[in-house]
Structure 1
Amino acid sequence: MKNILRKIYVIGFACVAFLMSGCAELFDCVASARPNLHSKTLVTGSVGINYSDFIEADVTNEPNDNNYDYYFSVDGNLPPGMTYREQNRKIVFSGIPTQSGSFSFRVTLTVDPYDDYIIGGGGLWEDGNHVCFGDDTTKKEFTIVIQ
């Protein structure tokens, strides 16, 4: 009887230790945390008039997504006279467009988990800089129309 109780205590202790060290990472895996670019129709602009709009991003199923580092890039054609800049969880498009037309481009978002998430450089459920064995990058197509 003592051997059975001892085994139960050992197994119970191991389970508690596992849960205390990997609970957050396990939840992220079950909840499927991943980067997300919000879908949005960007405002229509006019040639020669100041333009400004943004696309917001987050990490789905992650209550601490403000603690991630967000990196944006743009592939394709922005309207001539316009640029973009990163602002926390947003990519902001601004400038004075010099040409009318429909300009399509792809926004790529890459997120890096905050330092506390990566326990000892990679926890049990964390593979380096990837969110729970998932992809830490996402891409989405957008269009800016200038009249």
Structure 2
Amino acid sequence: MASLFPLRSRLLLLLPLLFFTSSCEMLTEELLECNQKIVPKLPEKGLLQGKVGARYSEIISAYVQNADEETFDFQFSVIGILPEGLNFRSDGRVFEIYGIPLKEGIYDFKVKVKLLDVITGTGDGFCFSKDFSKRSYKIVIEA
């Protein structure tokens, strides 16, 4: 019986060590995710000029830095005012401004893109510093 005690003691000492090292691996993965900063992005882009009464369409494609954008759902919104007669819609990571402008002018606005998904497993969203991004755009509508 005396020979089993040292073995049992060693096993009891090893169990917390095994748990700690496995937790450290998960923590290391989380810290790497934090370092990679998975956030949605919008490109710098000069938008097409429009003409009053003529059909207008422009596409802006969002992307995710340091990750595969196909794993995310995106939500878009406009901060400011689009030219009268223009609307927007989105499908996946594609944001489209479309319609028939009714009034000339220079229109400054921002597009905001937000990630809706929380990733499970590695990359579970623990370190998302910001799940959205905004970018300023301008549309010029001529008479």
User: Normalising TM by the smaller chain, what interval?
Assistant: 0.7 to 0.9
Dislocated runs of 4+, deviation >6 Å: 2-6
**Aligned equivalents of 2:47, 2:75: Cα separation in 1:** 20
Q: Structure 1: which 5+ residue stretches go unaligned?
A: 127-131
**Offset from partner CA, 1:23-65 (integer Å, 9 cap, x none):** 65433212111121111111111111111111111221113x2
Q: Which of the two has higher C-alpha Rg?
A: 2
TM-score w.r.t. the length of structure 1 is: 0.75
Alignment of 1:110-121 (within 5 A): 110-114=114-118, 117-119=119-121
Offset of residue 144 of structure 1: 0.7
**Aligned equivalents of 1:79, 1:104: Cα separation in 2:** 9
Q: Structure 2: which 5+ residue stretches go unaligned?
A: 1-6
Q: What's 1:62 paired with?
A: 67
| Selected match of 2:141 from 125, 140, 146 | 146
**Offset from partner CA, 1:87-141 (integer Å, 9 cap, x none):** 1102100011111111111111111234xx235xx95x71xxxxx1401122111
Kindly provide the amino acid, as one letter, of the partner of residue 97 in structure 2: F
**Aligned equivalents of 1:8, 1:68: Cα separation in 2:** 40
User: CA 1:59/1:25 → structure 2, altered by over 3 Å: closer, same or farther?
Assistant: farther
How many residues are paired up?
Answer: 134
The answer as to whether partners of 2:76 and 2:113 remain within 8 angstroms in 1 is yes
TM-score w.r.t. the length of structure 2 is: 0.77
The answer as to whether partners of 1:28 and 1:62 remain within 8 angstroms in 2 is no
What percent identity do the matched residue pairs reach? 31
Kindly provide the amino acid, as one letter, of the partner of residue 68 in structure 1: F
Q: What's 1:102 paired with?
A: 106
**Aligned equivalents of 1:77, 1:17: Cα separation in 2:** 49
Alignment of 1:28-39 (within 5 A): 28-39=33-44
The answer as to whether partners of 2:39 and 2:128 remain within 8 angstroms in 1 is no
